[in-house]
């Protein structure tokens, strides 16, 4: 098959959606399919700036949410024009967001919509839209329309599947997120060398937060928990890789707590480098929370950590509760519970052999249950169904 993957977002970019697309593309190509990605990044740079970025940015200053809606609609319009120019080359489209889904459906090609989250709720959670505003209701209607008009809908976890059923009365197919386990080889990474490159002193424990710095990811809580960890393990460094609206809050809080020297902010990190950071970490933290109706899906960051040979402490919310078996292949903690998080971290730092047991079982689970090759086969079947029923 010739498959076009579409999104109104940048690709590649920081975050799970971009990783999902790259890994799915690799899996499909390994099975002999031709796969291209059409994203906002591929569109004309001048149009991107003038038509789909600047207007909404300015309007949002006056009317929060209105500018976001305008920008997303303009992105959809540009993407739709590009799809129409190339559609004769493809058999099926796999969209990655509601606007890309609507643009893809408009082309007349069979369209499979992959749903990674709760589009309107996530916009509210990150402060881009006001809850129960006209813009919020309009986005919810666009979600419903996209799910109902797509030939097939895929959800990345069962909660998102239930959400789609509630908002659009559509039965989605669940395919959990996945990774290319073969690309994670912890035995080949010199963890001490990676720490040295980061300026982390020898024999210092590294706590790693591989998340976009947004509210639903609970990224402030590792900083809040760090003072308690330092009481027992003073040679510990907390490292963040990611950007987002919570950056300023974390920077302010670490100074307020007097732990500025123990918190390192790396900003955006290339995915290839992330593999080294996972493997060098003594503990990986995925402290997700509920935020304005949003729950973590099957976290790609968590799966990557599991594949990297590092023990994981995760918030007991959403898809994370489906990935981990508590105290078997990871530790789950009550969301927003600083004491619980600090205790779980300390428990692993106290007993490295226990952490290694968790990590080994986690990698085994990822290999057996979250392979990108197996997932690509499932996507292939759904593409064929979409084509045959179009």
What CATH number should be reported for the domain holding residue 206? 3.40.50.2000
pTM, to two decimals: 0.79
pLDDT score at 14: 67
User: What is the Cα–Cα distance from 48 to 42, expressed in whole angstroms?
Assistant: 9
Residue 59 sits in which domain range? 2-178+371-389
Dihedral angle sign, alpha carbons of residues 146, 86, 390, 380: negative
Same domain, 261 and 216: yes
Number of domains in the chain: 2
**258 and 232 in one domain?**
yes
**Based on the domain organization, do 342 and 353 belong to the same domain?**
yes
User: 133 and 211 share a domain?
Assistant: no
Q: Which residue has the tokens 């007349």?
A: 108
> Does 247 lie in the same domain as 170?
no
103 contacts 83 by C-beta, under 8 angstroms: yes
- Mark whether 287 and 376 lie in a shared domain: no
Sequence-ordered list of residues with C-beta below 8 angstroms from that of 168, at least 6 positions apart, any chain:
143, 144, 147, 148
229 and 263 in a single domain? The answer is: yes
Q: Are residues 293 and 170 in the same domain?
A: no
pLDDT at 126: 73
Residues 12 and 112 in one domain: yes
Residue 18's contacts (CB-CB under 8 Å, 6 or more residues apart) are 9, 10, 11, 12
Same structural domain, 58 and 202: no
The answer on 376 and 334 residing in a single domain is no
Q: Which two tokens stand for residue 31?
A: 């099975």
- Write out the chain's pLDDT in tens, 390 residues: 999 999 998 888 767 888 899 999 999 999 999 999 999 877 666 555 554 555 555 555 556 667 778 888 888 998 999 999 999 999 999 999 999 999 999 999 999 999 998 888 787 777 777 788 888 889 999 999 999 999 999 999 888 999 999 999 999 999 999 999 888 888 878 888 999 999 998 889 999 999 989 888 999 999 999 999 999 999 999 999 999 999 999 999 999 999 999 999 999 998 888 999 999 999 999 999 987 666 777 789 999 999 998 999 999 998 898 899 999 999 999 999 999 999 999 999 999 999 999 999 999 999 899 999 999 999 999 999 999 998
Both 201 and 174 in one domain: the answer is no
């Amino acid at each position: 098959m010739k498959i076009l993957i579409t999104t109104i977002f940048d690709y590649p970019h920081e975050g799970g959606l971009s990783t999902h697309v790259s890994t799915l593309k690799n899996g499909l190509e390994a099975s002999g399919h031709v796969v291209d990605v059409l994203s906002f990044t591929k569109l004309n740079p001048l149009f991107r700036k003038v038509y789909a970025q600047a207007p909404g940015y300015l309007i949002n200053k006056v009317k929060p949410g209105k500018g976001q809606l305008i920008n997303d609609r303009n992105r959809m319009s540009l993407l739709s024009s590009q799809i129409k120019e190339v559609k004769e080359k493809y058999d099926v489209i796999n969209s990655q967001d509601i606007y890309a889904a609507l643009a893809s459906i408009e082309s007349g090609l069979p369209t499979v919509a992959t749903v990674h989250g709760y589009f309107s709720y996530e916009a509210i959670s990150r402060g881009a839209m006001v809850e129960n505003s006209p813009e919020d209701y309009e986005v919810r209607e666009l979600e419903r329309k996209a799910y109902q008009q797509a030939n097939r809908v895929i959800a990345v976890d069962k909660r998102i599947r239930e959400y789609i059923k509630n908002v659009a009365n559509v039965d989605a197919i669940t395919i959990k997120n996945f990774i290319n386990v073969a690309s994670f080889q912890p035995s080949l990474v010199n963890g001490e060398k990676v720490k040295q490159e980061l300026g982390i002193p020898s024999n210092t424990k590294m706590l790693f937060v591989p998340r976009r710095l947004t509210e639903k990811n609970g990224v402030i809580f590792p900083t809040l928990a760090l003072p308690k960890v330092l009481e027992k393990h003073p040679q510990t460094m907390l490292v963040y890789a990611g950007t987002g609206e919570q950056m300023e809050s974390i920077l302010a809080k670490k100074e307020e707590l007097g732990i500025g020297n123990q918190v390192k902010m790396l900003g955006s990190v290339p995915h290839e480098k992330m593999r080294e950071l996972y493997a060098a970490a003594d503990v990986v933290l995925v402290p997700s929370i509920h935020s304005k109706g949003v729950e973590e899906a099957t976290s790609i960051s968590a799966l990557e950590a599991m594949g990297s040979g590092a023990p994981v402490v995760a918030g007991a919310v959403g898809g994370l509760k489906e990935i981990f078996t508590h105290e078997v292949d990871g530790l789950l903690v009550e969301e927003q519970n600083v004491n619980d998080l600090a205790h779980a971290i300390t428990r692993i730092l106290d007993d490295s052999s226990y952490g290694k047991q968790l990590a080994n079982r986690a990698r085994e689970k990822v290999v057996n249950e979250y392979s990108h090759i197996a997932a690509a086969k499932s996507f292939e079947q759904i593409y064929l169904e979409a084509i045959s029923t179009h």
